Structure formats: C-alpha cells, structure tokens
Amino acid sequence: MSTLLVKQIHTLVTMDAERREIANGALFIRDNVIEQVGTTSELPQTADEVLDLQGRYVVLPGLVNTHHHFYQTLTRAIPAAQDCDLFNWLQTLYPIWAKLTPRAIYVSAQMAAAELMLSGCTTASDHLYIYPNGSTLDDEIEAVQAIGLRFHASRGSMSVGQSQGGLPPDSVVEREADILNDSQRLIEQYHNNDRHAMLRITLAPCSPFSVSQDLMRESAALARSHPGIRLHTHLAENKSDIEYSLATFGMTPGDYAESVGWVGPDVWHAHCVQLDDRAIRQFGKTGTGIAHCPCSNMRLASGMAPIRTMLHHHVPVGLGVDGSASNDTSNLLNEARTAFLMARVREQDASAMTARGALELATLGGARVLGRDDIGALAPGMSADFVAISLDRPEFAGALHDPVAAMIFCQVNRVDYNFINGRKVVDQGRLTTVELETLVEEHNTLSRQLMEP
Ligand code: ZN
C-alpha cells in the first residue's frame, strides 16, 4: 500500500455531484483510488509521496476519449486523401492499411496513446477493424498496457467487401465465423469487469457499409451474454452514409440500428452527424450513447452533429478525436475546445455550449458513454486518474480570473502531469513510460514503409 498527496492545487475541478471547484485544493490517494478530496488544510499533511503544486496548477479529472483508430497515426496527411470526403478517403486508404503488420499496430498504438496522454487523456477506447498480415487485437492491447493508458479495446471487423456490395476491398474483410470466434477469445482472455479495471473489451463491427446485419445481431447477442461488454460502431456519419443505408437496407441509420438490436445503455455510436430527430429521441429514451468527433467531421466535411439537441433529449455524449488519418491529431483537450466552438456555430448561439459544459463532455460524458462510474470525476472511491496543467503559460496570460474556463477558451497542447490509476505517466510534461524520441523514430520508419509501392 502506498499513499500520494497532491496539495496546493490552484483550482481543483472535481466534476462531482455538486460540480465543486475547490480553491487551494488537495487530493489524497491510496494506491490507485482517491480516498479524500478537499482543501489543502483539510487533508492529511503528508503521504508516502507528495506533489506540491504551489498554487500554480489547475487539476482536472483525466479526460476520456470515446472513439479512435490508433493505427491511423501511420497515415496522417496522405496527399491523395487530404481533400476527400468519407467514402473516397476510405477507398484511398484501405490499400495502404492492407500493408499493416503486427509491429505497425503495436508502435502506432503507443504513438496515439502517447499523444493522448500528453494532452490530458487517461482512458481511451480504440476501434481496430482491420487485421492484415497476421495482426491481432492482442498487438494493440500489449502496446497500450505497456504505456499505461486505461483502455477499452474494441474488436472491430469488416465482413462485406466490394464484391458483396460493401465499401472495403475483399482483401481486407474477414469471415464472420472467424470474427465471432476471435471476439469470444478476446473477451475470455482480457475483459476485466471489476471497478478500476485498466482493460475492457468492446465488440465493434465497423459500419453499416462494411458488415452484414447478421454480424451486427450476432455481435450484440455475444456481447450481451457477458457482463460489461459494450457495443460500438460508426453511424450516420455523412450524407453518403445515409444514402447507402436507405438504398441497401431501406432504412434510416436510426431504424437500422434499432432493427439489429443496437440501441440501449450498452451501445454507443460514433459521429451521428446526420442522425434524425426521431432517432435522437429514441437514443435519449434508451440511453444509447454518442461519440462526438468534431475535428474529423469538419476535416471530412461530414457536417456538424446536433449535440445541443442530443443533450436536450438526454442522449449520453462523449468526445472522440477519431482516427489520426482524419483529424489528424490526438489532442483531447483541443477536441473539447472544438466541440465547444462547433456547438456555437451550429446553433448560431454563443450560449449553446459553455467551457464547463465542454469539460463535462470530455470527462463525465465520456465515462458514461463507456459505461463507467469509477472515472470522469474526482471524489472518494473514484479511480486516481487526473491531470495537472500549469497556469504559468503564455496561453493563459490575462485569463487567470477564470482558470477553469481558460482550459477551453485558450489552447492547451500539453499537460504537465498525468496520473492514471495512481501512476505518474506524465511528469513535468514528459512521458515516464516510453522513450518518446525512439518511439517517434520507429513510427516514422514504419509509416514510410507503408507508403512504399
Ligand atoms: Zn472512426
């Protein structure tokens, strides 16, 4: 057993039931769990380890990323895909992704996780749906466990290739029986449903245009036969996605999701930019969640998701940076800022989203979407996942009368400290768990190899 005291926090943002923001705050942690939260004078004065923030840092609950494709860090800013919409972008990239290897999956997962952790993320879901050349989800799990990010690994899949009317080339799709067998294996091998779990498994057929309705139904049945296995996919991302759904299934994406059993508090869908009002009400009633990915949606010109309307109808909303080939970054605090700006533009209303509302989506919102009540807030009994951001930065100059709002109104590229499950993974702006320069170098070598003809 070991204890950690973080004291003299300028402002401690708890996201607790009262949304307290504590001046001169402190946290007392035992192993991986928060034991006490309060002012520095109320809490114990010492511990095995003490981090004195000298009244110069804001502490936030660790941010939660609900949608990503880690392997895409290898294929950012590809010239031929720079100016494409979703379907053309995918068709340009599928042949490059077909050259991925187990090592490329491992290294890109660490690269994406590193970028997320440096920008304040403590828990991420990743959606891996392409397994060429012997790659498995295990490659990614091993990489993320080594770097220390709390992880929801999604067993993605594609089973309907071009010859069957799908979008991906036949060379990258799998047999549905193989997908389901591997899903079962991964659940048995890795899924941890305990409180404070560092690793959970999600089942995640890729999208309506790359899997069958049968695989959607079978995946839902398999997930629901195990406690804590959630379901995730892409839905209603842009107009072509809607047209495909109407032409192929004769249904809107919302009706399609319902017809295959993909609504409920154990399901979350990425994007939902073009989800209609009837489906939004249905998602609200059933507790079906959304991963809102504003940077990617703008990058691919997919549109602006109606987040204000979704929140009004009690749809659980979290944020996702989405894959690094369509963002092309993995900065979650920046994603919260973009969500905040986009909501205002979409509604033509400067009060459509507040800075604190954006921080709530990035923390509590994401935790709810991932089905967790042990992360997203700093309170006794919660996991010790938190980040500290120095106020002595040029970006915050002149904004110190409201340092919490400054986290969103101003731009933050890196956090100074990041603790995940009680472990210090970023110390004074540097990752403690991997050698970043070496990682970037190998990553770039692998990226170059993918580009070779
Ligand atoms: Zn995606």
Cross-strand bridge partners of residue 144: none
Contact 128, 73 (CB under 8 A): no
For residue 95, count other CB atoms closer than 10 A to its CB: 11
Distance 62 CA to ligand 1 centre (A): 22
Closest CA to 377 of 358, 394, 360, 396: 360
* Residue in the structure block whose two tokens are 């989203």: 353
Distance 126 CA to ligand 1 centre (A): 9
Q: Which tens digit of pLDDT belongs to each residue from 11-45?
A: 999 999 999 999 999 999 999 999 999 999 999 99
CA distance 2 to 33: 11
CA distance 263 to 255: 10
Q: Which tens digit of pLDDT belongs to each residue from 404-433?
A: 999 999 999 999 999 999 999 999 999 999
Mean pLDDT of the region 368-372: 98
Angle CA 224–229–232, to nearest 5: 95
Distance 346 CA to ligand 1 centre (A): 21
Distance 115 CA to ligand 1 centre (A): 17
Distance 402 CA to ligand 1 centre (A): 34
Q: Phi and psi dihedrals of 14, rounded to 5?
A: -90, -30
Mean pLDDT of the region 240-257: 97
Q: How confident is the model at residue 158 (pLDDT cuts 50, 70, 90)?
A: very high
Distance 29 CA to ligand 1 centre (A): 35
Contact 84, 296 (CB under 8 A): no
Closest CA to 87 of 175, 166, 188, 190: 166
Mean pLDDT of the region 90-99: 95
Q: Which tens digit of pLDDT belongs to each residue from 102-140?
A: 999 999 999 999 999 999 999 999 999 999 999 999 999
Distance 401 CA to ligand 1 centre (A): 38
The predicted pLDDT at position 453 comes to 84
Closest CA to 124 of 307, 430, 295, 372: 372
Distance 143 CA to ligand 1 centre (A): 20
Mean pLDDT of the region 176-181: 98
Distance 397 CA to ligand 1 centre (A): 36
CA distance 56 to 389: 8
- pLDDT above 90 covers a percentage of the chain that reads 99
Distance 271 CA to ligand 1 centre (A): 8
CA 408 to chain centre: 18
Distance 323 CA to ligand 1 centre (A): 6
Q: How confident is the model at residue 1 (pLDDT cuts 50, 70, 90)?
A: confident
Residue at 344: amino acid letter: R
Distance 269 CA to ligand 1 centre (A): 10
Q: Which tens digit of pLDDT belongs to each residue from 325-365?
A: 999 999 999 999 999 999 999 999 999 999 999 999 999 99
Distance 410 CA to ligand 1 centre (A): 27
Q: Which tens digit of pLDDT belongs to each residue from 221-241?
A: 999 999 999 999 999 999 999
Distance 439 CA to ligand 1 centre (A): 24
The predicted pLDDT at position 81 comes to 94
Give the global pTM: 0.97
Q: Phi and psi dihedrals of 298, rounded to 5?
A: -80, -40
Mean pLDDT of the region 179-199: 98
Q: How confident is the model at residue 161 (pLDDT cuts 50, 70, 90)?
A: very high
Distance 89 CA to ligand 1 centre (A): 12
CA 452 to chain centre: 30
Distance 301 CA to ligand 1 centre (A): 14
Contact 442, 107 (CB under 8 A): yes
The predicted pLDDT at position 218 comes to 98
Distance 326 CA to ligand 1 centre (A): 8
Distance 320 CA to ligand 1 centre (A): 9
Angle CA 174–179–180, to nearest 5: 150
Distance 69 CA to ligand 1 centre (A): 6
Distance 441 CA to ligand 1 centre (A): 26
Closest CA to 310 of 341, 288, 293, 334: 288
Q: Which tens digit of pLDDT belongs to each residue from 265-320?
A: 999 999 999 999 999 999 999 999 999 999 999 999 999 999 999 999 999 999 99
